Structure 1
Amino acid sequence: MTELKNRSAFHDYYFEDKLVAGMVLVGTEVKSIREGKVSFSDSYCFFDKHELWIKGLHIAEYKFGTTNNHLAVHDRKLLLNKKEIKKWENKLKEKGYTVVPLRIFFTENNLAKLEIGLGKGKKLHDKRETIKNRDAERELKKYVK
């Protein structure tokens, strides 16, 4: 099963809430995702007319695609319930919050899903603290074995 993660997101943000959303995709985009040809760099989600969109998600063109191949980077609509959209839209109006894509995966029904997180940015000293805690846990695991 293909699962692609946005590792830098966990380095840069604290996540308060997570949701799984569907995406409106073209057939060749799905095939490229299955091959793992996705880049999360500089991608983020935004609201437009009470709809959630993802911007900057790079899905490489499918190498066997014909003239019907998709554009690598374009805005893609995310599929969520109105209740979830309204809740997150109100949270986003608060200062410091952003919606970041975390991972893309396929369900048992072979549907491509995107996990998104509502996060606040980390300061530099917070990043150092996270690294220090992770290293300490790694050291403990060495000695516990």
Structure 2
Amino acid sequence: MELKNRSAFHEYYIEDKLVAGMVLVGTEVKSIRDGKVSFADAYCFFDKHELWVKGLHIAEYRLGTTNNHIAVHDRKLLLNKREIKKWENKLKDKGYTVVPLRIFFNENNLAKMEVGLAKGKKLHDKRETIKNRDAEREIKRYLK
């Protein structure tokens, strides 16, 4: 099961990627397995040398009881100190941000999030991306 943030690739140039663990409660994991995740307003930020994801909507588990989780709250991402320092320094440059790219389960069935160091695209860049994608699609269609 892999859930992608497609709008991130449309809105940003992804310069670097990292895979981070996530601090979750049990019902959040079950909702992720059901694919009930929305990246609509999600973004990452640094607080006291820790990386957090804000605005990630993980729907309440439908079979959960009174112990169900809150759908939208800040979730801590687990990274090495070295990786955090490197990205914090890059974020000081103008125009960079950290965005969640995808959520997946690794071979040990642990929920992981891939985050990307991104730089925003301008409107003409987005049009160029769409044009290139359509051209590649046409080439693939003719090669079949």
Provide TM-score, normalisation by structure 2.
0.98
Match of 2:88 in 1: 89
Provide TM-score, normalisation by structure 1.
0.98
Match of 1:137 in 2: 136
Match of 2:2 in 1: 3
Match of 2:16 in 1: 17
Match of 1:99 in 2: 98
Match of 2:30 in 1: 31
Q: Matched residues in 2 for 1:143 and 1:30: separation?
A: 42
Q: Matched residues in 1 for 2:33 and 2:83: separation?
A: 28
Q: Matched residues in 2 for 1:76 and 1:8: separation?
A: 20
Aligned residue identity for 1:56: G
Q: Matched residues in 2 for 1:23 and 1:74: separation?
A: 13
Cα RMSD (Å) of the superposition?
0.6
Q: CA deviation at 1:137?
A: 1.1
Q: CA deviation at 1:108?
A: 1.1
Q: Matched residues in 1 for 2:138 and 2:67: separation?
A: 52
- Please give the residue correspondences for 1:53-132 in structure 2 after superposition, counting only pairs within 5 Å: 53-132=52-131
SS of residue matched to 2:52: strand
In the comparison of the two structures, how many residue pairs are matched? 144
SS of residue matched to 1:41: coil
Q: CA deviation at 1:144?
A: 2.1
Q: CA deviation at 1:142?
A: 1.9
Structure 1 residues 18-65: Cα deviation after superposition (integer angstroms, max 9, x where no partner): 000000000000000000000000100000000000000000001111
Percent identity (aligned): 87
Q: Which runs of 4+ in 1 moved over 3 A?
A: none
Structure 1 unaligned spans of 5+: none
Aligned residue identity for 1:11: H
Aligned residue identity for 2:128: E
